Chain A
Amino acid sequence: MPRALRSGWALALALVVLLGCTAPDSAPEFDIGSFAGRDLATATEELPPEVIVIVYDMSEPVAGVEPMYGEAEADPDSEWIVLAACSPTGASEVGDQVAFGVLNNADVTVDVRNLIVKHAYDRYLGECGGSG
């Protein structure tokens, strides 16, 4: 192989290694769908602090009980399970806002857990493309 060609290959290889090892300089991106099924405290803990979080209490349409999230006497976020999570922009990554649909852990049955996995609760949230 000619010397010039060998140098070119070496340069290209070095560039590939360098680019491959360079740490990303932007904020880490999260797949919003991965938040479903986790408790709200754990989910929001991983978000960048500047993200605006919108929480829908789905107690009434899903479990037929009075919504309590956000009330003064409500359980802490660790007691609320994320049934659906989406970005208002429809993107799969976290932008500057995230919408969560939640249900109190006491009302989360095995059936509910199964439906979370199937993203069946996305239809309740406009941010997830739902229409009711």
Chain B
Amino acid sequence: MLALASELGVGPVVAPPPAPAAVGYYSTVVQKKIYQHFTFTSKEIARCAAVTPGLTCTIHKTASATRTIQLDLGLSRAAVAAHLQISSAATQSVSVQCTSGKLKAGQVLVAYSVGTRYTYKIERHMTSPPYDYVIGTSSLLSAFDPSPAGISCRVL
């Protein structure tokens, strides 16, 4: 029977060698830290300087802030807003300000942007299932998400 099979060219069944695993790459953010209400001192919004002693200074900034209203079960945005007794407009104008005390001649009030600061690293991975290798890590990186209605002032 075996000889017959051999003559017919069928032969014994042998499993093929495994195909080499596909190699892939991806990057991901790691070691993320969040700092809320961060004053970004290199993002100056405005400044006022007293050339005359005894002046006070107030810096006003108006921003457009987004109003979020979550909806469910078919109730409209306007209906929910009415229930909550708030405006249904998507944005609202928000005014923020800071005021100095009496300034001496030469003193400066500086307004800075306020927001959320993120620090993180980016890792580069190589995958060859079932293995996953870290092949590179960035230095510490940062991002800043300014708050439209945020302002922080200092007298210099």
Contact between B59 and A61, CB atoms less than 8 A apart: no
B62 touches A49 (CB 8 A): yes
Cβ < 8 Å to B, chain A residues 54-71: 54-58, 60-61, 67, 69-71
Query: What is the interface size of chain A, counting residues whose CB is below 8 A from a CB of the partner?
Result: 29
Would A67 and B55 count as touching, CB distance under 8 A? yes
B57 near A56 with CB under 8 A, answer yes
Q: Which residues from B are CB-within-8-Å of A130?
A: 51-52
Q: Which of B49, B53, B60, B64 contacts A53 (CB 8 A)?
A: B60
Task: Give the residue name and chain of the B residue nearest to A97 (CB).
Answer: B46
B contact residues around A60 at 8 Å (CB) = 54-55, 102
Q: In the bound complex, how far is the Cα of B156 from the Cα of A86, in angstroms?
A: 22
A111 within 8 A of B: no
Cβ distance A101 to chain B, nearest Cβ, rounded Å? 8
A selection of 20 A-B contacts at a CB cut-off of 8 Å is A49-B62, A52-B45, A52-B46, A52-B60, A54-B57, A54-B59, A56-B56, A56-B57, A56-B58, A57-B56, A57-B57, A61-B53, A69-B99, A70-B56, A71-B99, A124-B51, A126-B49, A126-B50, A131-B51, A132-B52
Known A52-B60, A57-B55; further 5 A-B contacts with Cβ < 8 A: A52-B59, A54-B58, A56-B55, A56-B56, A132-B51
